[in-house]
Structure 1
């Protein structure tokens, strides 16, 4: 059976052909056989290739750390247009950074002075440092990655005026095939980066700094809850939380 036939046994023909092209473009020939076998076992393609484009950045991907999503990239690009319009330098605090894709993308903006990103996973934080080095030529702001547990409120005092977060949002009862979660995600991506209910959003409302004046604009995934948008006005700045 050819490599294309192996992939066609698992995926639609057009997807199989495209993924085989990517494997052959991105990996040395000596790795093609293993890569096809891994993909046929539903290992995410980003883990096999080792990276994922995210806007103008290239984000390294490794097992144990959530793969950046296309919808997150689109959301981030929209957010960047909002931040560009803000007056004066912007300092950002980001919860649940994962691979660092959002924080690093925001750090490419000329008016962003500093980005402080936190995550509970040491694996994720190590990958964040790799992604910072990989994209250092495009990053304009000072960027720091720190360990922090949002649910335990292990958060730094900060002078940031903008809070970002893309926390786990899939309720436990929906984390299955019946809930629309792909089998490859269930088998290979970190559950703790995906499963969560509204506790992350509730915790995000606790201001980490008396200087953090915020307008919370929280978007919940529509398929998981009827509370699609929730807004709380505090003062002048804006907080976007997926």
Structure 2
């Protein structure tokens, strides 16, 4: 159950740090993605739905979709704030909306995420725990409406380019697989031509599988102003994620 100390609409401040910016002192999209996920995690912890005791290994949230639209990326030392709330559920999955604003209250980034609860021992999604079902989304406008799931590039397309990345220990999250933001990094790094990340307009990621330490992933992309991306395990070409990015 929620308490006065854990409101359904959560706000969390951040300051853009020097190691989160690139050329022009503009924060990277990956830093913004980290802000959004950090705020989501803190809210889940405050609501008492961060971890679930269902057995020896327990269960954890797994992100299956992340989509954001960017009006402006924040800059070095800028004070920003994430506002987030649980926005709905459908079967085994729940959605969470997020908005990043500057100090004046202007919206910089709008995002929606989709999650399910994974049984860590069986590696399977489970029914939503009662504490999650008891959360009733606040009555407010959606931060972002999801479209169709991103599609991988056409394999026969002449403009598909690829780049490989080794999964390092530093890429891993608390559950032992590559952090969600690493998938975004691999996708954006494989753009067919050099892209200034400050020109990114939107990013939509659909996660299909895990990447583990020591594996090599292949990131493929094709397109121009709108790019289609695929992240694959190089050894067997298993699809790990698809994405769409649009650029100014």
More strand by share: 2
Per the normalisation by structure 2, the TM-score is 0.26
Kindly indicate which of the two structures has a greater share of residues assigned to helix.
1
Higher Cα radius of gyration = 1
Higher relative CO (Cα under 8 Å, sequence separation at least 6) belongs to 2
TM-score after normalising by structure 1: 0.27
